Amino acid sequence: MILQGTYTNDDLDDAAQLFIGHLAKRAINRCRSKVSLEDFVGKLKVWDETTMTSPSGLHLGHYHALSKPAAFEKTDTAQQALFEQKRSTLIRAHLAILNYTIRFEYPLQRWRKVVNVMLEKDVGRPRIHRLRVIHIYEADYNLLLAVKWRETLHYAEDNLLLHDDAYGSRPARSAHDPITLEIWRNGIYRLSMKSGVNQDLDATSCYDRILPPVASMCSRRDGLHPKVATLNCRTLQKAKFHLKTSLGTSAANYQHCNDFPIYGTGQGSGNSPYICCFISSALFDAYSEKATGAYFRYW
């Protein structure tokens, strides 16, 4: 009902109703649900092999070895052909597993173990509120997230579905662009001798505070396939989080439950930057309906 734009709830405040009203689906079509061979190999080509992944031990290096052809002598054509056939079979088998999980919205057992690494923001001062929590997921699961959300982002860009004031994680845009606009704005204040007020808000630990249902709605609003969104939410719901320190990985774990819900898609997740972009775009759409903003004009 939210995606169709028919949901109403009088118990919500005006801001919540405004935001929900802008979660109605904007995409005409939805992106593919399957991961293709080009998606699989293309992601591995740009994924640094030294990236920490896979609590199961199926390291990213195994996938790189699988995706890269081996070097043979020019005379060993038969051996090379046999090797390429086996390599192709292994890749297709792994793709079949990935697409099986999407088709039946089923998170694999090894995907459900997530390791949390705590990084000190202030080196030598491990204060609990100054720790950055990094989530270590299985490599193939993280690949799936990165590939499908990136595809959705490009679909949204091609169809002009994103708000023009959203800059984060978008192609052909960078964090330097808003800074440049701010410098220009302050320059106009000085040259025109006008007063202005600027407010900067830092979304502290934003990836760890994202509500997965809201993330799914905002992603589906811009074209994500519903099966992919459901698979992501089910994995987070069933995930068991272990803590990793210099002493090793803890045997004990914690898990999402109704009494102590765990939110966030996690830093280290391949889809978190794109989700943040989709949510920001929806918030900008809602904000633009009520706010007029400032206009600068030259004479």
Rounded Cα distance, 101 and 140, in Å: 11
Q: Return the percentage of the chain with pLDDT > 70, whole number.
A: 99
Q: Quick one: pLDDT at residue 118? A: 87
Predicted confidence at residue 299, as pLDDT, reads: 59
Q: List pLDDT tens digits, range 71-98.
A: 777 777 888 888 889 989 999 999 999 9
Helix axes 37-46, 60-67, angle to 10 degrees: 120
Q: What percent of the chain has pLDDT over 90?
A: 60
- Integer Cα distance of 257 and 14 in angstroms: 29
Over residues 198-241, the pLDDT tens digits come to 878 877 778 888 999 999 999 999 999 999 999 999 999 999 99
**Chain centre to alpha carbon of residue 232:** 10
Predicted model pTM: 0.90
According to the model, what pLDDT value does residue 130 have? Answer: 84
CA distance 244 to 270: 20
Q: CA 248 to CA 255: how far, in whole Å?
A: 19
**What backbone torsions phi and psi does residue 18 show, to the nearest 5 degrees?**
-65, -45
Q: Residue 159: its pLDDT value, please?
A: 94
Transcribe 194-250 into DSSP letters: ----------TTHHHH--HHHHHHHHHHTT--HHHHHHHHHHHHH-EEEEEETTEE-
- Mean pLDDT, to the nearest integer, of 165-194? 88
List Cβ neighbours of 152 (8 Å cut-off, separation of 6 or more): 31, 219, 222, 223, 224, 274, 278
Give the pLDDT confidence of 25-84 residue by residue, as tens digits: 999 989 999 999 999 999 999 999 999 999 999 889 889 988 887 777 777 788 888 888
pLDDT at 26: 92
What residues does each domain of the chain span?
14-290
130-142 per-position pLDDT tens digit: 888 899 999 999 9
Tell me the CA distances in angstroms from 8 to 14, 16, 26, 220, 229, one per residue in order. 12, 11, 18, 19, 23
What does the alpha-carbon distance between residue 82 and residue 73 come to, in Å, rounded to a whole number?
14
Q: What pLDDT shows up at residue 298? A: 61
